[in-house]
Amino acid sequence: TVRVARALLGTQLVRDVKGQQLRGMVVETEAYVGNEDSACHASKGKTPRNAVMFGPAGISYVYFVYGMHFMFNVVTEKKGNPCAVLLRGLFPLEGVEEMVRRRGRTGRELANGPAKLCQAMGIDCSLNEMDVVRGDELWFEEYRPVCEKDIFCGPRIGIDYADPSDREEPWRFWLENPEVE
């Protein structure tokens, strides 16, 4: 999962909305490593909300938080091992006008956070459990190779509820980019 979080950097996330493609380069991710990670939704077991995390790798896990925001993750491990990568930031590439329309913002504020990314790309719970490897509404494509030296890492954000040791794990990864929170 940690390896996948790093590998997704520099890939292109594509969202097809009624024939219009929205594209962005992934510039920030976080890894959540299952049962042993108290920051992970699956750390306390399987629930209706997190059940998709227990499925096969390459499936989307989209959930709603704070009564207003969607979050987009990719399940990363074999069936039964609930691990996922949260997408935290994108650099907009194509369909930028539509992203601006959806967000009401331009520039740095367009997709520099997980909720902003979802709003800009039109990602909501209707896209939960989608195949993001071979899908036709939401998928990843190769885009730009990233050198190891260009990847930064540090503690994950917004997990105050987790055990102190899990809060400090350097499982947030990013590229130097304005779309990084």
Per-residue pLDDT of the chain (181 residues; tens, 9 = 90+): 999 999 999 999 999 999 999 999 999 999 999 999 999 999 999 999 999 999 999 999 999 998 899 999 999 999 999 999 999 999 999 999 999 999 999 988 999 999 999 999 999 999 999 999 999 999 999 999 999 999 999 999 999 999 999 999 999 999 986 566 6
CATH for 110 = 3.10.300.10
* 180 occurs within a structural domain: no
Q: Kindly report whether the global pTM for this prediction surpasses the value 0.75.
A: yes
* 60 occurs within a structural domain: yes
* 153 occurs within a structural domain: yes
Number of H helices, E strands in the chain: 4, 8
Q: Are the C-beta atoms of 169 and 156 separated by less than 8 Å?
A: yes
Domain hosting residue 112, numbered range: 2-175
* 114 occurs within a structural domain: yes
Q: Are the C-beta atoms of 10 and 91 separated by less than 8 Å?
A: no
Written as six digits, the tokens of 88 are 């935290």
* 102 occurs within a structural domain: yes
* 181 occurs within a structural domain: no
- Report the b/e string of 120-150 with b at 16+ CB within 10 A: bbbbeeebbebebeebebbbbeebeebeeee
Number of domains within the chain: 1
* 77 occurs within a structural domain: yes
Q: Compute and round to an integer the Cα radius of gyration of the chain.
A: 15
* 49 occurs within a structural domain: yes
The Cα angle at residue 15 between residues 123 and 12, in degrees rounded to 5: 110
